[in-house]
Structure 1
């Protein structure tokens, strides 16, 4: 019996109309996304044109950053995100115009276009790209993006003028590691590297996890594991995935980089360093006031308390009990008091929309020190290196307002205000009651 056996003809007709409507909406969305890519591509070309006209020596880098910042602040987004989109859009529009046009007409989706472009990023000849695009657009009209991916890679390989070995040598230059914050006090660690090494890492972690699970099973059955001292303490109900993750973090935090370290073991001596904001109410037993890692990611209370107990010293951030603003920062041991105060106040880069932490940022004089700007809290703010450069080498201008507030003026004359992020603290009242 089919699932829709009891549906009336009118109900089936309604479903058919819904599918038609959904297809129409998806075509419209694809067309609008293609239009957005066209605008972003024009912005990228505009930056190059202005830089060429002025003979900028940086190949339009700072001009492109300024344009991206202009667009991003207007959209309340990160300018890094917008600049990446500008690059991707210009790549699609200029190198794969047939794919862009197909998306603009609603024939294929943005997901199809991305799969097609990604698989052929190394095709240098315009004729090869056009021939490849024509073939893949026809397939994209009848296949899903996930199925199209494998077809696209195979098709692109036939047009490749360079061997896989040559392309792999270039691709190795893109290797890297990154962190993406997740919900509930978690984060993701990403790694891009040679496939043989990455799969080897995963295989080794799997082998270790299987050994731990086998030891657990032996202990549960009353048997004796081959390595009782090393594995007996790991008896638990973790899955293989969980054991793999625990082992990877254990190895990365405690393992020695034998292939890179010198005779003195300088790299092995480097330890992980993090900053944790813990309200005093948490330390005295309150579990309903969250702690934060590096001012941006909540972490569980037990972890926060263990980190605080193991710390050699604490920064104490004194906050106003009414509005939550930072009043002062001190420490039991002498150190750079002003730097700690700025870290506690800013908690991130102070360019609108940027979330880089103070540890990844410079302390900038809002009024340039070379022009008489004072080195004091009222004239200092954290700017990541990208936005520090943007402030000094583009028409973007910043002014200091009261309460640590910064007012940014864009090259187009638009104004954006950035306020210090409220600290992770306890406020007893939302506002001061009016006097009577």
Structure 2
């Protein structure tokens, strides 16, 4: 049954008022948080000035601790927490004033600001930071923080003085594994390593978990009576299975404790999606970096190795001026329409959602059973959560020119979701390629 089918006009009006109030309050909160950052940045500045005045040999560390302790006592929080906030506020206010001003105006939230700043943490040139900040603030006004994070990682590469390959070589020296003890007899295991390997391992664990769940369903009949006593229905979630299988593989070298009746888990391999602009693949030094799943920039040697070993790869043709998607073809047989949609959408097309297209459903906007066409203008990717929302609530969607999606909310508000910018190079009038 569809949600909100029996709602009255008065109730819809109440929901609309609540949405407007929530939006207004959120802007006020963002402004107040920016004002607090300004005060904390002044606290950090005070500590530095006092230390410089008295020529403290600890470079203001003890003065900063003193100020943090005073503020912590007044705010009833840990002085360590306040000291961390002092440093973060100083970075935002003094290194990223454009971002701070936008948050103060309420046009972006603290989460948006954090996503923009985190991506440019090592950008040392002030002019480059300002140019980057202006571009990202404009983009962030209409997008969720998780989508801002993906684009920020791409944009900031255009302002980095050192290439991604050089920085990746340095960063690899920090690869490590660690353990953090948690309450109730639990602990967490962390791994820092090359993004392509980490994402590939996670994809393999997810696929293995799906295979176990599928095998479990096949071992029971529609009435949920167990057919095979050795394989009862598995009630674990995907997260549970990923964790259990990961530990099984690490401890034994193979998923022997979780394998399916046909021993299919060992044959499962990890998959990642890599986008490499053609200029970069050709070795042009000014080409934009390759990207993993449209989110994480990766070094060129890794991207080339993956491209060379792939059994097939899609060629994405984009407009040389706008960067918009024109067509997708492939050098090996495959499902052309599905490839086109994955290249265009990149992720779930509901507002603010960042779930990858490869983990989402392809949906007919106008039901195929009612005459809806099976083409790119009537198809799009929705994750399972938002797929259900589209079909079982008053939310409505219309696809417009350029792949834009116009979503109409139950209160009649219209929100636009634009396709993610293609990872490509565009050309200006002076014929200088400009990576997005």
- The TM-score normalised by the length of structure 2 is 0.46
Q: Which has the larger radius of gyration?
A: 1
- The TM-score normalised by the length of structure 1 is 0.46
